[in-house]
Amino acid sequence: MADLSFVHTHAPGDPARAPLLLLHGTGGNEHDLVPLVPEIAPGRGYVSPRGKVLENGMPRFFRRLSEGVFDEADVRARADELAGFVVEMREAYGLAAPVAVGFSNGANIAAALMWRHPGVFAGAVLWRAMTPLREAPAGGLEATPVLIVSGAMDPIVPAADVGNLALRLREAGAAVTHETLPVGHGLTRPDLDLARDFLATTA
């Protein structure tokens, strides 16, 4: 495995399909989402980095000031750093632009990359995401397919916030599908089914 700027795991896959960039939630690591790959995208390769920020010993991709309140300066810096890792991994492994698959904090950093680095992803699956930054996205997301899946009973992500995320990404040009499930913050079987159907037609 290549020695890159993030601790990560990697597995090759069908070269005709875009690889996945797996982005874990708070307290997860580079192995957390790997078992989901055969269920949501059989045959695809992946790269799964570990977040560098520690919150009470739990890995994350950026700092937060409190539950649902982000350190936006850190969001920008960490998004830029992760965008650099995407360039590294593509060069090291000979990969096409990846499709991000992120949960919670991982979905938020994926959204931040789309805010600041349009074109870095071929698409994105955002489970339980929030609006990452108050500033307007840079734009340039034309034809980028994005699936947002939120939970109607999620105690962490306000419905208005995820609605704003979908709106801002659409305004930046992305082709956004937003689904709301009757669930909380955790992943469920319907989350995986929606992701599988979306990824079957994406890159």
* Active-site residue list: 104, 154, 185
Instruction: Report residue 188: phi and psi, to 5°.
Output: -130, 170
Give the torsion through C-alpha atoms of 7, 12, 15, 21, to 10 deg: -30
Which residues have a Cβ under 8 Å from the Cβ of 12 and sit 6 or more positions away?
45, 93
3-state secondary structure 16-62: CCCCEEEECCCCCCCCCCHHHHHHHCCCCCEEEECCCEEECCEEECC
Least Cα distance to 88 among 195, 185, 181, 3 occurs for 3
